Structure 1
Amino acid sequence: MIDLRLLREDPDRVRASQRARGEDVALVDALLSADELRRSSGVRFDELRSEQKSLGKLIPKATPEERAELLQKADRLKAEVRAADAAQDEADAEAKRLLLLLGNIVHEDVPVGGEEDFVVLETHGTIRDFGAEGFEPKDHLELGEALGAIDMERGAKVSGSRFYYLTGVGALLELALVNAAIAQATEAGFVPMLTPALVRPRAMEGTGFLGQAAENVYHLEKDDYYLVGTSEVPLAAYHMDEIIDADKLPLRYAGFSPCFRREAGTYGKDTRGIFRVHQFDKVEMFSYVDPADAEAEHRRLLDWEKQWLTGLELPFQVIDVATGDLGSSASRKFDCEAWIPTQGKYRELTSASNCDGFQARRLSVRMRDGKKVQPLATLNGTLCAVPRTIVAILENHQLPDGSVRVPEVLRPYLGGRELLEPVSK
């Protein structure tokens, strides 16, 4: 959530942020009114409680005649205090409800617009000219089936559409990617983590995934658990309700977990293969930092993602995501998009988001610097979303005979194998 002081002192900035996101600007004024009512009802309750305490001191000293009148007044005050307390709780609950609906304040440098209004910041690598090499590239599913690596048919039979099996070298390729990603993250100072895939509502709400993203979250109603769509959720909640000494920052974690997404609203999009699926594995970087270091850490996360994709020898571009395509928690987000030859375009492989103090306030994660205690900043960055990375590797490194060259960075994790070769029928 945002800092309420910012809302009170500069509501126009908050309105501008909501407008840029394409969200309801009227929410800002509703929250201002609710906050004012919350504060005034608190003042009224405190005044009545003070009067009640003062009256309580007078009663023992009063004469019998005065005591009867004072006791009647005490009864009236008791009812008023009870009503004021209830009004204060109601006003506080409404202010909190509205505050949770408000997105993070977007960074001033974020391009304004929707999904297609991103700005390309840089490009890396060379896009292969398959025509010049004398063959037409196959898509990842055709390659994966020939390699004995991907089985969509049985995935659909067992679990339905957008499910799959990784088999043989496909399974080995996933394990190689995960091990290589964790190795890079560990070398960079991240603590490797295996995180829960089921979380309580507060963890999911605290990270901002029960707002605009709620339609893509799986909810187990009987037990009131949520399946995470990213290990960002359990990593953000790891230090929930804790105060961390400033000299221990930054804290960096690399989480590996299964991820689950309903993919609501994507009917007919990316239905072939494993680019957009309901379940996948991912290695996620997560940082807790001093707010003053948040922007620099954001760039560091992006640099680690660029290092990873460069090591996989993939052509990619870095984009500054537009305001209307940000998640509610992010003030700014950079995506790395890899070139997918058979689609003839760049597609998202990694994201790096700066959430400032937005998640920390919701989850009550604070830092202590001397006597000062304040929310810290959280950031997250995808290092390896496995299925999409496999898509990019198969398509970009394919050879005319249907085999696939293994990037050097992965060979130590595949027993030194240089090629993935088609299996015999």
Structure 2
Amino acid sequence: MLDLRVIRDDPDRLRASQRARGESIDVVDELLAADEARRSSLAEFERLRGEQKVLSKEIPHASGEEKQALLARAKDLAAAVKAAQAAADDAQVRLDELAMVPSNIVLDGVPAGGEQNYKVLREVGTAPELDKVRDHLELGEGLRAIDTERGAKVSGSRFYFLTGVGAQLELGILNLAMKTAVDAGFTPVITPTLVRPEVMAGTGFLGAHADEIYRLERDDLYLVGTSEVALAGFHANEIVDLDAGPLRYAGWSACYRREAGSHGKDTRGIIRVHQFHKVEMFIYCREEDAIAEHERLLGWEEQMLAAVEVPYRVIDVAAGDLGSSAARKFDCEAWLPSQSRWMEVTSTSNCTTFQARRLGIRERSGAGPRTVATLNGTLGTTRWIVAILENHQRPDGSVAVPTALRPYLGGVEVLEPVVPTRR
């Protein structure tokens, strides 16, 4: 949700943002008209209420025909006040509905356009030189680390088991991510994975991508696709204390995504699945500190990618691919040797005050309570196994373990295949 004062003062800024996203600008005029209608109807209600109060003071002092006339006028005013209040309430409902429509206003410098219009900021590391490239599923099956056949037998397509060193790898990635977060001053949190509709809506996930979300209709709860949702709701309808600096949380949770509309895309292996685990950073800060905090989040993500020794690049995501809540988003993409392409492994978004305004999260300031900014960023997830296996593979199907992950695998330096690999 956007600040109406900003839209009133500079509607062209929202229009430009909507254009950059490839979204309709008509909502801007509709929103301004609804705001004017609400203010006008509220002013009429207040005018009539004022007249009603004056009249109520005159009636006790009147008598005879004058009093009867005042009483008749009071009756008419009561009906008019009731009608004006209903009109003001209706105008507020309409305004509230329209206020949920526009996406967040993109920040200056964000590339315009859609998914393919990103800007590459930097590339780090060198892709491995491999004579024969095995993909992560072949490697994982050889290591008895990934079992998609039994996953499908138990739960359906795009489910899987991580077994043996596969489970250890995931736990290693997540534990390293949590250690990185704690060392950086984050508070670790194990979050709920079921949330109420108002929390899901407050974070902006019930818009264009609502089909991605699993809903438990009987209980009216949603399964989260990221612990960002639960962490955003953690301080809903609260006034938080930011005097000592930003509030930083690192949430560990299972995540669920329907992957609606992704049929045929990365269906092999565990790149695009319905369930996975993730450590997500989440920050509450003052609005003026949000850009600096965003850079810090990206820095911690790059620190993790450097630790697992995979080549990656950082992209500035285009406006049309941001999602409704983000005003700017940076993705880190790891090199995927089996497909000779880059694959997203982390994402960090500056949501400015968009989510917090919806969720009623404010801080105390000299001018009174004001809305805070929220930011999020992935620090480690199941998909990283894909990049680690493929970039650290050896000709015999074994996989070198990145130094930073070895303590989480009992000091093992190389994962040896259990099942003979094809040569």
TM-score (normalizing by structure 2): 0.98
Contact 2:250/2:279 (<8 A) preserved: yes
Deviation per CA, 1:360-418: give whole Å up to 9, x if none.
111111111234321111100011121x1000001011111111111111111111111
| Shift of residue 50, structure 1, vs aligned partner | 1.1
Q: Which residue of 2 aligns with 1:398?
A: 393
Q: Which residue of 2 aligns with 1:117?
A: 117
Contact 2:141/2:419 (<8 A) preserved: no
| Shift of residue 424, structure 1, vs aligned partner | 4.6
Question: Which ranges of structure 1 fall in alignment gaps of 5 or more residues?
Answer: none
Opposite residue 30 of structure 2, the aligned amino acid is: A
Matched, 1:409 2:404: yes
| Shift of residue 290, structure 1, vs aligned partner | 1.0
| Shift of residue 246, structure 1, vs aligned partner | 3.2
Contact 1:360/1:366 (<8 A) preserved: yes
Q: Which residue of 2 aligns with 1:72?
A: 72
Deviation per CA, 1:286-343: give whole Å up to 9, x if none.
0111111110100000000000000000000000000110110111000000000001
Contact 2:122/2:314 (<8 A) preserved: yes
Q: Which residue of 2 aligns with 1:369?
A: 365
Alignment length (residue pairs)? 420
Contact 1:123/1:316 (<8 A) preserved: yes
Q: For the aligned residues, what is the CA RMSD?
A: 1.1
Q: Which residue of 1 aligns with 2:164?
A: 168
The secondary structure found in structure 2 opposite 1:252 is: strand
Q: Which residue of 2 aligns with 1:105?
A: 105
Q: How does 1:274-289 map to 2 (within 5 A)?
A: 274-289=270-285
Matched, 1:255 2:255: no
Q: How does 1:279-358 map to 2 (within 5 A)?
A: 279-358=275-354
Question: Aligned equivalents of 2:151 and 2:35: distance in 1?
Answer: 51
| Shift of residue 245, structure 1, vs aligned partner | 2.7
Q: Which residue of 1 aligns with 2:83?
A: 83
Opposite residue 172 of structure 1, the aligned amino acid is: Q
Question: Aligned equivalents of 1:376 and 1:95: distance in 2?
Answer: 22
The secondary structure found in structure 2 opposite 1:248 is: coil
The secondary structure found in structure 2 opposite 1:234 is: helix
| Shift of residue 176, structure 1, vs aligned partner | 1.1
| Shift of residue 61, structure 1, vs aligned partner | 1.5
Question: Aligned equivalents of 2:169 and 2:387: distance in 1?
Answer: 12
Question: Aligned equivalents of 2:416 and 2:98: distance in 1?
Answer: 56
Deviation per CA, 1:173-195: give whole Å up to 9, x if none.
11111111100100000000001
Opposite residue 21 of structure 2, the aligned amino acid is: R
Contact 1:246/1:369 (<8 A) preserved: no
Matched, 1:60 2:60: yes
Contact 1:249/1:288 (<8 A) preserved: no
Question: Aligned equivalents of 2:260 and 2:27: distance in 1?
Answer: 25
Matched, 1:127 2:127: yes
The secondary structure found in structure 1 opposite 2:281 is: strand
Question: Aligned equivalents of 2:255 and 2:267: distance in 1?
Answer: 18
Question: Aligned equivalents of 2:184 and 2:14: distance in 1?
Answer: 36
Question: Aligned equivalents of 1:365 and 1:185: distance in 2?
Answer: 23
Opposite residue 188 of structure 1, the aligned amino acid is: A
| Shift of residue 223, structure 1, vs aligned partner | 1.3
TM-score (normalizing by structure 1): 0.97
Question: Which ranges of structure 2 fall in alignment gaps of 5 or more residues?
Answer: none
Q: How does 1:233-248 map to 2 (within 5 A)?
A: 233-248=229-244
The secondary structure found in structure 2 opposite 1:120 is: strand
Contact 1:218/1:227 (<8 A) preserved: yes
Question: Aligned equivalents of 2:2 and 2:164: distance in 1?
Answer: 48
Matched, 1:149 2:145: yes
Opposite residue 4 of structure 2, the aligned amino acid is: L
Of 197, 206, 211, 2:207 maps to 211
The secondary structure found in structure 2 opposite 1:352 is: strand
Contact 1:245/1:369 (<8 A) preserved: no
Question: Aligned equivalents of 1:76 and 1:278: distance in 2?
Answer: 61
Contact 1:254/1:285 (<8 A) preserved: yes
Question: Aligned equivalents of 2:160 and 2:90: distance in 1?
Answer: 48
Contact 2:165/2:409 (<8 A) preserved: no
Deviation per CA, 1:101-159: give whole Å up to 9, x if none.
1100011100111111111001111111113xxxx010000111111111111111111
Matched, 1:264 2:260: yes
% same residue:
61
Question: Aligned equivalents of 1:213 and 1:57: distance in 2?
Answer: 56
Runs of 4+ in structure 1 deviating by more than 4 angstroms, as ranges, are none
